[in-house]
Amino acid sequence: MQIEGNIVKMRAEYATPVNYFLQVGQNEIVMNDLIGKEISMNFTGQINCISCGKQTKTSFSQGFCYNCLQTAPEASESVLRPELSKAHLGFARDMEWAQKHDLIDHHVYLAVSGDVKVGVTRYHQVPTRWIDQGASSAIKLATTPNRHIAGVIEVFLKKYFTDKTDWRAMLKNEVAQNISLLDEKQKVYQLLPSELKKYFEHNNEVIEIDYPVLSFPKNIKSIGFDKTPKIKGILTGIKGQYLMFQDDSVLNIRKHNGYFLQIKSPS
């Protein structure tokens, strides 16, 4: 197989283990089929903005040109900080976009990757959001009618839980042990002020996630196309948005949204 094109973050389908697909131009690679095989990826030097498509010398915030970083709704500050969303007040970079992305149901959740973390996701991104973070398990805490309220709950809970994923621990599969997400969820209910308790999610299903990994790296070496345009190795696993190789190197695919690659692998 030999194909080329701009890449975006891998698409994931919840299964046991997770199924991964990499979009390369107009083609899509079934990445699970390549585990245990040697793949070669060559960065041509071309980067295209994932919003407007224009060629850019530098990629900002995982795939945007500078202009789209400043103007595109999908690059607005509320993407990273949901509490800053003002769409419920009628203010947004693009209200039509906000109607579909901010003014819809959101979930606040707890996920276990390294430690227990709190996060926010749109309802239709469950469980994809958890997969992208490399979570081993997750549970919904609250369901809100818009992004802002979910962000308010997340900010409140940051006093008790981290909101960051320790990507090194996640890739080494150093998962927090003896954690009961159901117990943690009940603790959250006791912590929430009364005005936020009404959003508490009563579905207590814990989603367990298994990844297609032959072996986890022990001494992680992070690699990227800006410093290493040609990357070649035997793929030993995929977790989150990372490819793992036999030599313990790891590649964050999402970081390279919009990069134009030439990819070769056994048929």
Tally DSSP H helices, then E strands, for the chain.
Answer: 8, 14
Per-residue pLDDT tens for 202-221? Answer: 999 999 999 999 999 999 99
Per-residue pLDDT averaged across 91-113, rounded? Answer: 97
Q: At 43, is the secondary structure helix, strand, or coil?
A: strand
Check: CB of residue 262 under 8 Å from CB of residue 2. yes
Q: Where are the alpha helices (DSSP H) in the chain?
A: 66-71, 77-80, 95-101, 128-132, 147-157, 167-171, 181-191, 194-197
User: Which tokens in the block code for residue 220?
Assistant: 């992680």
Q: Is residue 81 part of a domain?
A: no
Check: CB of residue 234 under 8 Å from CB of residue 37. yes
Q: Is residue 39 part of a domain?
A: yes
pLDDT bucket at 113, cuts 50 / 70 / 90: confident
Per-residue pLDDT averaged across 27-54, rounded? Answer: 97
Number of domains observed in the structure of the chain: 1
Per-residue pLDDT tens for 134-192? Answer: 999 999 999 999 999 999 999 999 999 999 999 999 999 998 888 999 999 999 999 99
Q: What pLDDT, on a 0 to 100 scale, did the predictor assign at position 107?
A: 98
CA distances from 149 to 66, 78, 96, 141 (A): 29, 12, 19, 13
Q: What pLDDT, on a 0 to 100 scale, did the predictor assign at position 139?
A: 98
pTM value is 0.95
CA distances from 246 to 20, 36, 250 (A): 19, 9, 9
Check: CB of residue 19 under 8 Å from CB of residue 263. no
Q: How many Cβ atoms sit within 10 Å of the Cβ of residue 250?
A: 21
Q: Is residue 27 part of a domain?
A: yes
* Residue 267 in this model has a pLDDT that exceeds 80: no
Q: Is 58 exposed, middle or buried (0-12, 13-18, 19+ CB in 10 A)?
A: exposed
Mean pLDDT of the chain: 97
How far the first Cα of the chain sits from its last, in Å, is 5
φ and ψ at residue 266, rounded to 5 degrees? -60, 145
Q: Is residue 241 part of a domain?
A: yes
Domain coverage including residue 238 = 2-69+230-264
Q: Is residue 255 part of a domain?
A: yes
Using alpha carbons only, give the angle 175, 176, 180 rounded to the nearest 5 degrees.
Answer: 120
* Cα–Cα distance, 160 to 141 (Å, whole number): 14
User: Which tokens in the block code for residue 151?
Assistant: 């962000």
Using alpha carbons only, give the angle 36, 41, 42 rounded to the nearest 5 degrees.
Answer: 165
Q: Is residue 36 part of a domain?
A: yes
* Cα–Cα distance, 163 to 111 (Å, whole number): 10
Per-residue pLDDT tens for 9-22? Answer: 999 999 999 999 99
* Cα–Cα distance, 225 to 120 (Å, whole number): 30
Q: Is residue 161 part of a domain?
A: no
Q: Is residue 253 part of a domain?
A: yes
